[in-house]
Amino acid sequence: MNDGFTFKLFGKIRFDQSRAGNLAYITLALGLIFYVLTIWVEVYCDTRPETKNSTDKFYQSHRQWRLRTAFLFLMWSIFAGFSVPFGFGLIIFTPVYLWFVYRTLKGLIYFYARIPIVSRSHRILAVK
């Protein structure tokens, strides 16, 4: 099956669009354990020119979902890290971590069920 493009990781490994999405979700899930390193690999995979130029709405919705998840998790985690000396870093990090688990699992389930993810803001704009 040809999904519109071939993704090359580090110039040597080739993936079709479906396998590139699988790789991105796997590295996002590994970010639960190994944190920053795997999240940056996921961001690298989703910001390649080949993935940006895809016209398939399904893959674009998941690409946007993963990028938002990774960037917001990193941003809130950095804020929580700076809050540790003031005594409330864990109070911030715990819900952020649970939110990251939720977004990762929801994305994986929707990806394997072949359902595009539509964010709440897009649903509101589509209704108006």
Quickly state the pLDDT bin for 2 (edges 50, 70, 90): very low
- Asked if 107 and 65 count as a contact pair (C-beta separation under 8 A), the reply is yes
pLDDT tens per residue across span 71-114: 898 899 889 989 998 988 889 999 999 999 999 899 989 988 98
d(CA 31, CA 5): 26
Domain ranges of the chain: 6-127
Output 38 or 123, whichever has higher pLDDT.
38
pLDDT tens per residue across span 21-64: 777 787 787 777 777 777 777 777 777 776 666 778 888 888 88
d(CA 48, CA 10): 11
